Copies of this chain bind each other. A is one copy, B any other.
């Protein structure tokens, strides 16, 4: 029978555990501090930032949102980051992406103190992850590994196909799975034989943001299906990359959208904030 991978439930368990860790820290007089920088008025970003604030509060992390105008200059943003780098009460810094066009995003990511880089966007942290010497793991890929662990899905030797090659999900997830001994194929929009490749996968991971791009004939019988895509259909309903109703019957395990990978990302962010705090005290 197909098993739904319940990211919401798994993330609640993780958050409960993290709450206990924060409580233990508070007994030593330490409160983990997270600064979230939000530049401009992007609607999706506002929602993401609010969610991070809500979950921080739930766990006991002291979160501070730094709201900056859409007209913020590179220099002003850099100044804020340097201040937060120096602020001992802030253990994690997150710059909400995307930044306005006038900002050099790569420079900003590389200015955050690597020890406070809870999003794992600093090149040094990306590099450490690549050679298997990670301080932090990027949140969405780490959340997926956690789903595998909690669902007892073996990785070593498995044929994994990832559709999507972003810096935030596709590429780091590929590297993390390669490090765990999987045979990993990374596909993109120019892939010639997507259906052939995807239907060879023991574990199929889609991160395209194209609704229902993964149909049942692209999936091997009893494959594990991980859906990272999020988009809205014509009716405004949140949907994933996977044609869930039809793929469901073929999969051994499947993540729903919403309630699959999404809640794990934020739980892993909280985990990184607590890890950063412990490393800094």
Does any Cβ of B come within 8 Å of A190's Cβ? yes
Does any Cβ of B come within 8 Å of A193's Cβ? yes
Residues of B within 8 A of A191 (CB): 157, 159, 183
Does any Cβ of B come within 8 Å of A63's Cβ? no
Q: Find out whether the CB atom of A131 lies under 8 angstroms from the CB atom of B157.
A: no
Q: How far is the CB of A125 from chain B (nearest CB, A)?
A: 7
Within 8 A of B (CB), among A120-179: 122-128, 130-133, 156-157, 159, 165, 167, 170-172, 174-175, 178-179
Q: Find out whether the CB atom of B171 lies under 8 angstroms from the CB atom of A178.
A: yes
Residues of B within 8 A of A156 (CB): 190
CA distance A183 to B164 in the complex (A): 10
Residues of B within 8 A of A197 (CB): 183
Residues of B within 8 A of A172 (CB): 130
CA distance A45 to B107 in the complex (A): 37
Does any Cβ of B come within 8 Å of A75's Cβ? no
Q: How far is the CB of A207 from chain B (nearest CB, A)?
A: 13
Does any Cβ of B come within 8 Å of A210's Cβ? no
Residues of B within 8 A of A188 (CB): 178, 181, 183
Which among B157, B171, B192 is the interface contact of A183 at CB below 8 angstroms?
B192
- Asked if A192 meets B126 with Cβ closer than 8 Å, knowing A171-B178, A183-B197, the reply is no
Does any Cβ of B come within 8 Å of A187's Cβ? yes
Q: How far is the CB of A199 from chain B (nearest CB, A)?
A: 13
Q: How far is the CB of A166 from chain B (nearest CB, A)?
A: 10
Residues of B within 8 A of A178 (CB): 165, 170-171, 174, 186, 188
Does any Cβ of B come within 8 Å of A185's Cβ? yes
- Asked if A184 meets B181 with Cβ closer than 8 Å, knowing A174-B174, A191-B157, the reply is no
Q: Find out whether the CB atom of A106 lies under 8 angstroms from the CB atom of B133.
A: yes
Q: Find out whether the CB atom of B133 lies under 8 angstroms from the CB atom of A122.
A: no
Q: How far is the CB of A222 from chain B (nearest CB, A)?
A: 15
Q: How far is the CB of A187 from chain B (nearest CB, A)?
A: 5
13 A-B interface contacts by CB (under 8 A)? A123-B125, A123-B127, A126-B130, A130-B130, A130-B171, A131-B167, A157-B190, A159-B191, A170-B178, A174-B186, A178-B188, A183-B197, A184-B186
The 7 closest A-B pairs by CB, nearest first: A123-B127, A126-B127, A127-B127, A157-B190, A185-B185, A183-B191, A124-B124
